[in-house]
Amino acid sequence: MGPGEPRLDVARVRGLFPGLSDGFVHTDAPAGTLVPESVAHAVSSAMRVPVANRGGVFPSSARTEGLVASARAAVADLVGGVSTGVVLGPNTTTLTYAVARALARTWRHGDEVVVSRLDHDANIRPWVQLAEQVGVAVRWAEVDIETGELPAWQYDELITPRTRLVAVTAASNAIGTRPDVAAIATRAHAVGALVFVDAVQAAPHVLLDRAALGADFLAVSAYTFCGPHVGAVVADPALLAELAPDRLLPAPDRVPDRFESGTPPFELYAGVTAAVDHLAGLCEDAVGSRRDRLRVSMAAVAAYEGGLFDWLDQALRAMRHVQVVGFPEHTTPTLSFTVPGMRPRQVAAELSRRAICAWDGDFYARELFDALGVNELGGAVRLGLAHYNTAEEVGYVIDSVAALRSAL
Ligand SMILES: Cc1ncc(COP(=O)(O)O)c(C=O)c1O
């Protein structure tokens, strides 16, 4: 980061998070970040006033309409989409299944879909299962087992004139790898295939631009970017209008509502808006539209988290009793590691005893950890940073992982 570039005032930022007062180091962000007071306040405020269902002619119903419109506008700003292309739902997995079912209706026997071994299972299994049901072939993009990269060149072979869909992650939830999604999408679009991008782990760390990524569908989950447990899929409204998702007969047929089943958690939508506002406000001196402020704030987040992560990553790689999984070049601030001689659960328990939150397991990156041989070891331990982590915390985590040596 150069002089004069916006910086994150982490002391101020930490003051926004009541959850940080529990005395733990929260390095479990990939499974869900803490929420700032503004998000909790937005949700509880939405429940303190009359909230009705949508579509009524009375004021509390109009208020609910506003909650939905605001959440859609916020997510659109976050990923560079338009409100009418923002489908909200309970989580990314449920929405991916909904889109997969709708797309599968357009597939024909002999068509092909391409999934990647790098992905969270949420962006693999729906496609594989729907492909099986329709008689569509599944082709797999492989991970370089030395580096944990997902080489884009392999898509030259994988994508054929029969390819209908390419599903790929913008960032691995297990080892942080950020593949060249735009290059993969260019290859997919050259044959008329659609691209479904899982941005659940990218959204908290970089400013996304759906069009620049070439994502026909882009999925995010607000609980990874300081919001509540709500998911969203963003697409071109014209594309959504072409698809026929499962839908109750009396439910609205307009876009994007036709993809949203049942009565949603309107109060949580208030939290989605507050979460995007939180990100946009991380740099207090950022000005302009919310998208402009997001651009500045997320650049500061990326620079700040990147500096901390490089330190963590290099320190762990230098420890002889630790094996960091993969060695990707472009990453989010997430890594997984093993300690040969200790079960991952034991490592996580030892870190927890030292007041560090760290996940163990395969993190639903089952295909990746099978391919890399990590599951044979019982999985790995994951550390993921968020913009509220400090250098002091990272130093403490490094010391704590170093101290595991004495338990061997
Ligand atoms: C990369 C990635 N994709 C998809 C998911 C699934 O998201 P959700 O829990 O919203 O269904 C996760 C959850 O951790 C994830 O990390």
Domain shared by 363 and 254, yes or no: no
Query: What are the start-end ranges of the E strands in 211-288?
Result: 217-221, 231-235
Would you say residue 51 has pLDDT above 90? Answer: no
Q: Check: CB of residue 294 under 8 Å from CB of residue 207.
A: yes
Residue 14 forms part of a structural domain: yes
The residue from 244, 279, 314 where one domain ends is 279
Looking at residue 178, what is its pLDDT?
98
Domain shared by 377 and 298, yes or no: yes
User: Which domain CATH number covers 82?
Assistant: 3.40.640.10
The residue from 279, 301, 325 where one domain ends is 279
Residue 75 forms part of a structural domain: yes
Classify residue 177 by its DSSP letter. Answer: B
* pLDDT tens-digit map of 104-131: 999 999 999 999 999 999 999 999 999 9
Domain, as residue range, for 54: 41-279
Would you say residue 1 has pLDDT above 70? Answer: no
Domain shared by 123 and 264, yes or no: yes
Identify the residue whose tokens are 């397991």.
361
Q: Is the CB of 169 under 6 A from ligand 1?
A: yes
Domain shared by 50 and 143, yes or no: yes
Classify the phi-psi angles of 134: left when phi > 0, otherwise alpha if psi is within -120 to 50, otherwise beta: alpha
Would you say residue 407 has pLDDT above 90? Answer: no
Looking at residue 5, what is its pLDDT?
76
d(CA 258, CA 395): 49
Domain shared by 107 and 238, yes or no: yes
Residue 4 forms part of a structural domain: no
Ligand 1 atom closest to the CA of 91, numbered from 1: 10
Domain shared by 88 and 159, yes or no: yes
CA angle 67, 98, 111 (to 5 degrees): 145
Residue 274 forms part of a structural domain: yes
* pLDDT tens-digit map of 202-235: 999 999 999 999 999 999 999 999 999 999 999 9
The H-or-E segment that residue 166 falls in is strand 163-169
Give the model's confidence band at 293: pLDDT under 50 very low, under 70 low, under 90 confident, else very high: very high
Residue 3 forms part of a structural domain: no
Residue 353 forms part of a structural domain: yes
Domain shared by 257 and 302, yes or no: no
Q: Is the CB of 141 under 6 A from ligand 1?
A: no
Q: What's the total number of domains in the chain?
A: 2
Looking at residue 278, what is its pLDDT?
98
Residue 183 forms part of a structural domain: yes
Domain shared by 30 and 47, yes or no: no
Ligand 1 atom closest to the CA of 198, numbered from 1: 3
Give the mean model confidence (pLDDT) for residues 64-88. 97
* Residue 25 structure tokens: 């180091």
Angle formed by the axes of helices 344-353 and 391-403, nearest 10°: 130
The residue from 234, 260, 279 where one domain ends is 279
Ligand 1 center–CA 119 separation, angstroms: 10
Ligand 1 center–CA 154 separation, angstroms: 25
Domain shared by 168 and 119, yes or no: yes
Pocket test for ligand 1, best of 127, 221, 233, 331 (most atoms within 8 A of CB): 221
Count of residues making up the chain? 408
Give the model's confidence band at 3: pLDDT under 50 very low, under 70 low, under 90 confident, else very high: low
Domain shared by 17 and 119, yes or no: no
Residue 284 forms part of a structural domain: no
Domain shared by 61 and 191, yes or no: yes
User: Which domain CATH number covers 297?
Assistant: 3.90.1150.10
Q: Is the CB of 347 under 6 A from ligand 1?
A: no
